[in-house]
Amino acid sequence: MVVSTPIRFDANLPAKRRRFGWRLIADLVAEQFTQGITTEKIALSLAVGSFCAFFPILGAATPLCVAAAAGLRLNQPIVQIVNWGTAPLYLPLVYGFIRLGDFLLGSSRGQLDPAVLFHHFGTLVGHALLGWAVLGPFWLGIGYFAALPMLRAVAMARGLTKA
pLDDT at 20: 63
Return the SS3 of 42. helix
Would you state the pLDDT for residue 8? Answer: 46
Residues contacting residue 80 through CB under 8 Å, at least 6 positions apart = 49, 62, 65, 66, 69
Lowest mean pLDDT among 7-11, 55-59, 123-127: 7-11
What pLDDT score does 90 carry? Answer: 92
Q: How confident is the model at residue 132 (pLDDT cuts 50, 70, 90)?
A: very high
Q: Summarize the confidence of residues 138-146 as an average pLDDT.
A: 95
In this predicted structure, the answer to whether residue 144 has a pLDDT above a threshold of 80 is: yes
**Cα gap 126→131, rounded to integer Å:** 9
**Mean pLDDT of the 22-48 span:** 76
Pairwise pLDDT comparison (145 vs 107), residue with the higher score:
145
Residues contacting residue 82 through CB under 8 Å, at least 6 positions apart: 45, 46, 49, 50, 53
pTM: 0.73
**Residue 163 banded pLDDT, cuts 50, 70, 90:** low
Confidence bin at 4 (pLDDT 50/70/90): very low
